[in-house]
Every structure is written in C-alpha cells, then in structure tokens.
Amino acid sequence: MNRALAEAGPWFSKLGPVDWAQWEHAARWLETQLPEGPHREQRIHWLTLPLARWLTQRVEGATQRPLFAGLSAPQGAGKTSLVKVLVPLLAQWGLRAIAVSIDDFYLRREEQLQLAAAHPGNVFLEHRGYPGTHDLALGVATLEALKRGGEVMLPRYDKAAFGGRGDRSAQGEVVHGPFDVVLLEGWMLGFEPVVSPPPELETVNELLRGYAAWTQRLDVMIALRAAEPQFVLRWRVEAEQVLSRAEVEDYVRRFLPAYACWGNSVRADLEVVLDVTRGLRGP
C-alpha cells in the first residue's frame, strides 16, 4: 500500500476523506493499464487517482450533471493516456464519464484551406492546430448536446487524410447520455488572449477570444504544465517516436511560440508541473 506516497502528492490536500481500500484496488488496476516506467507509481498516486477522487467529489457536490471538466496539457504530456484510464476508473467508482478532444472540432479541410487563403503568409493558420482552426460552433453544439443527454453524435477528425493534413470524418460516433462527467481535453484548452502578443501572433490572439464559448461551459479546469516550454519539444518527439529533422523544425517554428505566449494564461482549479521526463513535481 502506497499511502505515504499518495499523501505526499501535490493534490492530496485538496481531497476529502479517502477510502483507502478503494484507492488500493484502483491502484492495482492502474498498474495493469499504465506502461512500466520510472514515474508510473507517481502518476498513479499523484495524478490519476487524486484526479479521479477530486472529480468524484465535485460531482457529489454539484447541483446538476454532467460535470464539465477541462483538461489542458501540452502535446506529448500524456493527456490522452490520462483520460483513457480516467473514464473506466470513474466507471468503477459509479460515475459515467466520456472524454472529448478538441482535435475533433478542427475545421473541415475545405474550411481550413479557406482560412489559410484569407491569411496568406500566416504560418500559424496555414494548417490545423492553432486557435482559429477549430469549428467553435460545432464544439458548443456538442457540449450542449452532452449536457442535455440522450443520443449525441460526436464528430471525429481523421488526421491521416490528405497526406496527413487531415479532414473531418464523414462518420461520427453516436453516444448515449446521460453522463456524470464530460472530460474535454486539448493542448491549448484554456489559453486566453494576452495584452501584448508578438506581432506575428496578433491575429491568432484575437481569434483566441472566441474560445471563451467553450471554457465558459466548463465547471472545473485541470492543467498539466511543463516546467520549461522547451520540454514540450522533447515530449512531442518522444510521443511521435520518429520525426524527421524537417518535421521537428516545423514543430518548433509553429507550436513553441504558442506555449511561450499563452502557456501560463490557463486559469486552473488544479494544476501539476511536469519536469523534463514528465515526472510530477511535489509540493
């Protein structure tokens, strides 16, 4: 039993009473789900279990369901793996959860081409990824449908289409509510406009204002942050396993400016800082 480890975690003080038998049972299950590595125990007892317990408490104290929880984390930080185990873990604890990625709200290929044509020479709007390259109305409609419950069509985005440039899939995924928790995750979720952005980011900074239509629908926000912006490049390379030099340079040119500009603008109810190896920093 890793009770001492759990109690040393950065979020533990935010938790109420803990059912340690339940915690231990869930920890054993997570050990079968998460790959072995130097930080597996830490991620189980400092991140996944505390987050699941904290969300459970928020649901129990809420006046209505579902609870909408945002998860903001840099690319390669492990947010997709986190929500992948959070959904079944919450189910074990009696809560019906669903995870939604803002990546599925990217513009259709034709719309993305129109956006790029409207901003010639703007490398940040040339392809999907940055604020401005999502269908904000589709995101709002999806969140509202999940709030109502019943049958919901979730959009799906095919990143492999058009030689990797991507396009929204013709077929979405039908899910059936009601849900207790909706997890909305994204690398730039929660980014807010800054007062004086670099000149090359002024257009995107203005487009970022529209994303309040998503964040204002969230009840809570969780943020995983990189201790240093340059760590994100290493994580991205590791997550993709094989990137050519050109792809790495393209990533540096297009995405690192976003973390430098807006990375600290996310206002979170819970946050954890990751070191270069994705280890969690203690209090």
From first to last of its 283 residues, the chain has per-residue pLDDT tens of 578 889 988 888 888 889 999 999 999 999 999 888 778 888 899 999 999 999 999 999 888 899 999 999 988 888 888 999 999 999 999 999 999 999 999 999 999 999 999 999 999 999 999 999 999 999 999 999 999 999 999 999 998 898 888 999 999 999 999 999 999 999 999 999 999 999 999 999 999 999 999 999 999 999 998 888 778 877 776 766 656 666 766 766 788 899 889 988 999 999 888 888 777 775 5
Residue 242, pLDDT score: 58
Residues 228, 263 contacting (CB under 8 angstroms): no
Residue 179, pLDDT score: 97
99 inside domain: yes
- Residue 180 to residue 103: CA distance in whole angstroms: 22
51 inside domain: no
Structural domain including 183 reads 62-274
40 inside domain: no
Residues 30, 24 contacting (CB under 8 angstroms): no
How do beta strands 220-226 and 270-274 pair?
parallel
123 inside domain: yes
57 inside domain: no
Residue 243, pLDDT score: 61
**Helix-, strand-, coil-residue percentages of the chain, each rounded to 5:** 45, 15, 40
Residue 186, pLDDT score: 95
Buried b (16+ CB within 10 A) or exposed e, 165-204: ebbbeeeeeeeebebbbbbbbbbbbbbebeeebeeebebb
- CA 98, distance to chain mean position in Å, is 13
Neighbour tally for 108: CB within 10 Å: 15
68 inside domain: yes
Q: CATH number of the domain that 81 lies in? A: 3.40.50.300
Question: 30 is written with which tokens?
Answer: 């997570």
How do beta strands 151-154 and 173-176 pair?
antiparallel
200 inside domain: yes
Residue 281, pLDDT score: 72
Residue 138, pLDDT score: 98
pTM of the model: 0.92
What is the number of structural domains in the chain? 1
**Residue of 162, 179, 35, 40 whose CA lies nearest to 106:** 162
Residue 213, pLDDT score: 97
145 inside domain: yes
Residue 97, pLDDT score: 97
Start-to-end CA span in the chain (Å): 21
